[in-house]
Amino acid sequence: MRGFSFNYGDVIASTVSFALCYYAYLRYHRDLTILEKSNAYILHCSVTHSRRLPEPSRHAFTYPLLSFLFSLPELESGKLSLLRGYLFSYGGIFLRIVGIRASGYLYDDRGAETSIRTKLVKTLKRFDVVEAEDLAGVWMMTMPSFLGWEGVNPLTVYFCYKNNTSGLWLTVLEVHNTFSERHVYILETGSNEEPPPNGYDHQWTFPRTFHVSPFNDRLGTYTVAVRAPSHQPPATDVAEPLTTPMSPAVHITLHPPQEKAPEDGLGSTQKAPLKLDAFWKTKRAVPFTTVGLLDAITRHPISLLMTTPRILYHAFILHYRRSLAVWRRPEMLPVVPNWGQFRYRSSPDSNKSRQTKGGGIAWQRPTIMEGLAADVICSFIARRAAELDMVVVLQAGDPSISLRKFGPEADVPHHGRTLTISYLSPRFFTLLLLAPNVPAALTLGGPQANRAGDVFEFIVSDEALFMELSGETASKDPRPTPNSQDSYGKAFPSLLRRLRASSPQAPTGDVSDHFLQPQNSREGVVLLFLLLVCVGTEWLECFLWKMSAPSSSPLTNKKRKRTTSDAGNSSKVTLESSSLPTSQVGPVLVSFPSVQPPRSTPFKCYAQDGEDGKEFARQRTSIAGETEAVEFTGSNDVTEDDGAGSRYLVAVHHPSTGKVTIQSAPLYLITRQVKSLKNNVPTAPSVAERIQARNVLGETFGTKKAQAAIRAHERNKVDVGAMEGVANVLQERITEGTGNLPTQEEAKLAADAARPIPPYNMEAEVPEDIYPLHGIIPEQEWQALDSLLPQLKAASSSFARTKLLPNTRSAWVSQHLTLAYAGPKPKAKTVKLLIYIAAMLYFRAITGGKAVPERNAIVEKMSSIPEIVIDSLLSRFTEKLRGSNKPHTTSYTDTSLITHIFALCLKVDDFATDTTLLASDLKMAVPKVNTLFRSLGAKIEQLTTHELKRLGLPDSAGDTKRAILKTPLTFPKPKGKRKT
């Protein structure tokens, strides 16, 4: 029995062969019906982020992105599953390559609801969208899971349509951050909408209410512009033509809050400088099929896995390389109705009207320690509420947390003694646990000033009842004290006080006054464990916070030795402004760019008329001084606008008092003038003198090469006087020699006649008459094409109809043939033009770049085309070289063939052709294709609004440049030599 031998070369060759076969399979079976409506699309996108502020932290990046556009009803029905659900399916993320599940979107219900559409309707109802039940079709643009990895999905866009309406109704932006929090912005078409920029359909501006990046606070405004999908989700499975490409896009800009409100009351229209700029653009949309998804995964194998690594990578750059500070995460704004609406306190939204609906939909889940702290605090509240005959209500900002009530008959208020505590998150319980006393807890629970928000961590309806609940007031009910007879005695309370005092946050008040004291040893052990973990966690957080801060500049770490006199005053420094009168002259700052005068040189200061009463640094002044040989003068640069330019300050430190006095000082740039040269007026040398002086320097100090050049120039100098008698003879010879040359007009006509383009009519008044049809396709060939029309009409589908043409690989021909048969009565002229274009493209493919095959071989390959057409192509677009009877293609014949194709394409496209797809079919660069279109007299430019309406194209098509043929016909002028 022969042994098995392992060869690495066989493995590599097999892998490469498999990859090539797979690529060839995808290329051959690519979708030819990309202009037909579909229920889902694969979007090849690009995402761009650009940070503009602050200036030292400017940063930008662009990445390719693979996203998907699904019709929600079709997605949830299972019709979009591919390869029996192993390639893609809805309902989970495991045991499939690409997947989507409802728990990853909108509110977090731990997978209880399996329909994204149902969750979307409930979310709209929660935020007071009255007509939520009328939701019909929904496009969902998102990034699904890949290989079981769901990751962070920063933005999901829902394009919502209503029953019995044709336009976009709502745009719902679902935003996720890296802290597992979710938020929605609901943007309604026609409500608070602004004029959109070019290339977009809608735009809104609204306040920012969600914390996304740790490098931004929660202040400012968003401006969001969207380009909606080209059509609503199809209601049936019947293929319908797609007139415009599917290219949804989102543009988001962030503006910081204005420092000063505008005086003219136009605050809603004026925006602060741009801080962040983000684009999500679709470059290419492909129908969601097995082949399309495999092709997308092959092109972007790790795109769906790179969102989180890219976020961490750019966060590292911003923090450590750009030195951008980190904002601590604020708690999410509450969305529970009537949260915190108590006397002396206002709810977050009571003093401003919401321009945009929406809010938080998913909060961070409480940690184990927060859950244990909540049990301890709730147990204490229940015991004290029963003792004080009081009803205590705990109201969370998260609507998924139900209302908690404590006390006797908690459902009915007791003699008005009802205390309501509204809190944002479970952090409230650890805050109460660590607070040294009740006043400190109320202070720590105040506005989140250090987290850029104006929302309280928690709010109580009555502070007196809250103090009584904790035992801080002198009420009839004494504060609960621990059992003095218990075995643990005073050990636990003392240890608990020490733990609270060791918290990183500085305690306020007496630590021993804390209201939460254990009643027995069991409660003491639990409370001790909680405090140990919480305090240790806070210290660890502070340590990591300091360690993660970017290192300071090396200059700041240098220390100087202190003297004895300033050692005592170095800890406190007081800044004060100078109290010098306005008439006081000085101090001043001067700059001597070159010669510096002696220190004993006197200077005088002069002020212009009308400057009295101003601060000295703001006056227009000049200073002047002189020595025996040089005069020095200078003036300060003062602008009219106080906010423009720079101001210089001089600070004087007084070590004895520890004060630093600051005084404004003008800056003077000093110029000098030598007295002995003051009256000398220099004379400019002539050109001949300069040349002579240069030659003398070259002969003396130049290199051998420079000296040889000077001598050669002297030898070649022309004597003009000796040429006077020969000038007339030369002029007569030139006149005789140029007498037979053609004029400029004759040369232009000859050049136009020699162009490798179809016959043209310079006197044409409409584009249709510029290139006559039978000048491109002879009349007999045109009539012979009628035989193919019945076969094309009888074809069952666009794919079968394309197979009848000789060139089945042309995407341009396939798309236009699909559009031609989209209507009930296709135009015979358009179909015949497409047949002839397909024949010319295939003829170029089998004859270009090599010897032309035999006629019989060409006829066999182009069996569907009449032979009279093939003979015409051979006679017009091939040449017989000298000494050979076989036809060959040359660069001239190839160019002529391409220009004939382009002339027919212009006729099909109503004389406005998109050159990008043709360049792909011909495997040519787009600039080269544009050059050939220009040789036909076409202009490469964007369509005007009138032309878009004439061609029936949307406004977004105006962004693409097209080859447009207009009258009168003009050809590009030949490029002349550059003038030197």
How far is the C-alpha of 638 from the C-alpha of 615, rounded, in Å? 12
Percent of the chain at pLDDT exceeding 70: 78
User: What is the predicted pLDDT for the residue at 451?
Assistant: 42
Higher local confidence (pLDDT), 237 or 163: 163
DSSP per position, 626-666: E-SSEEEEEEB---SSTTSS--EEEEEEETTTTEEEEEEE-
Predicted confidence (pLDDT) at residue 554 exceeds the cutoff of 80: no
Greatest mean pLDDT among 38-47, 315-324, 402-411, 541-550: 38-47
User: What is the predicted pLDDT for the residue at 500?
Assistant: 54
User: What is the predicted pLDDT for the residue at 235?
Assistant: 64
- Lowest-confidence segment of 15-29, 213-227, 442-456 by average pLDDT: 442-456
How far is the C-alpha of 885 from the C-alpha of 400, rounded, in Å? 87
Q: 412: pLDDT confidence band, cut at 50, 70 and 90? A: low
Q: What is the mean pLDDT of residues 273-281?
A: 93
Query: How many other CB atoms are there within 10 angstroms of residue 602's CB atom?
Result: 9
Higher local confidence (pLDDT), 925 or 33: 925
Owner of token pair 């928000």: 453
Closest CA to 625 of 647, 653, 592, 651: 592
Task: Write down the domain spans for the chain.
Answer: 1-32, 36-258+273-322, 337-344+363-473, 575-638+646-676, 689-713, 753-965
Burial class (CB in 10 A: 0-12, 13-18, 19+), 57: middle
Q: 165-198, pLDDT tens digit by residue?
A: 778 999 999 999 988 899 999 999 999 999 999 9
Cα torsion angle, 75, 77, 80, 85, sign:
positive
Higher local confidence (pLDDT), 796 or 786: 786
Q: 593-651, pLDDT tens digit by residue?
A: 777 888 888 888 888 877 777 777 778 888 899 988 888 888 887 665 555 557 788 88
Q: At what angle do helices 811-820 and 915-922 cross, to 10 degrees?
A: 130
User: What is the predicted pLDDT for the residue at 582?
Assistant: 65
User: What is the predicted pLDDT for the residue at 566?
Assistant: 40
pTM for the whole thing? 0.55
Q: Could you tell me if 936 and 899 are in contact, meaning their C-beta atoms sit under 8 angstroms apart?
A: yes
Q: What is the mean pLDDT of residues 293-315?
A: 90
Distance of CA 248 to the CA centre of its chain: 14
Burial class (CB in 10 A: 0-12, 13-18, 19+), 30: middle
Q: Which long-range contacts (CB under 8 A, 24 or more apart) does 757-763 make?
A: 757/896, 757/899, 757/900, 757/903, 757/935, 757/936, 758/899, 758/900, 758/903, 760/937, 760/969, 761/969, 762/968, 762/969
Instruction: Name the helix (H) or strand (E) containing 142.
Output: strand 135-142
Token pair belonging to 131: 């007509």
Distance of CA 400 to the CA centre of its chain: 33
Q: 84-131, pLDDT tens digit by residue?
A: 899 999 988 888 999 999 999 999 888 889 999 999 999 999 999 988
Q: 3-state DSSP call for residue 599? A: coil
User: What is the predicted pLDDT for the residue at 6?
Assistant: 52
User: What is the predicted pLDDT for the residue at 116?
Assistant: 94
User: What is the predicted pLDDT for the residue at 140?
Assistant: 96
User: What is the predicted pLDDT for the residue at 49?
Assistant: 94
Predicted confidence (pLDDT) at residue 18 exceeds the cutoff of 80: no
User: What is the predicted pLDDT for the residue at 353?
Assistant: 42
Three-state SS annotation for 40-83: EEEEEEEEEEEECCCHHHCEEEEEEEEEEEEEHHHHHHCCCCEH
CATH class for the region spanning 337-344+363-473: alpha beta
Q: 681-696, pLDDT tens digit by residue?
A: 767 788 888 888 888 8
Mean of the per-residue pLDDT values of the chain:
79
Q: Could you tell me if 292 and 31 are in contact, meaning their C-beta atoms sit under 8 angstroms apart?
A: yes
Predicted confidence (pLDDT) at residue 737 exceeds the cutoff of 70: yes
Q: What is the mean pLDDT of residues 8-37?
A: 63
User: What is the predicted pLDDT for the residue at 482?
Assistant: 41
Q: Could you tell me if 385 and 469 are in contact, meaning their C-beta atoms sit under 8 angstroms apart?
A: yes
Q: At what angle do helices 915-922 and 828-847 cross, to 10 degrees?
A: 40
Q: 260: pLDDT confidence band, cut at 50, 70 and 90? A: low
Beta strand 357-362 pairing with 145-146: unpaired
Q: Could you tell me if 541 and 626 are in contact, meaning their C-beta atoms sit under 8 angstroms apart?
A: no
Predicted confidence (pLDDT) at residue 474 exceeds the cutoff of 50: no
Q: 666: pLDDT confidence band, cut at 50, 70 and 90? A: confident
Q: 456: pLDDT confidence band, cut at 50, 70 and 90? A: confident
Higher local confidence (pLDDT), 267 or 617: 617
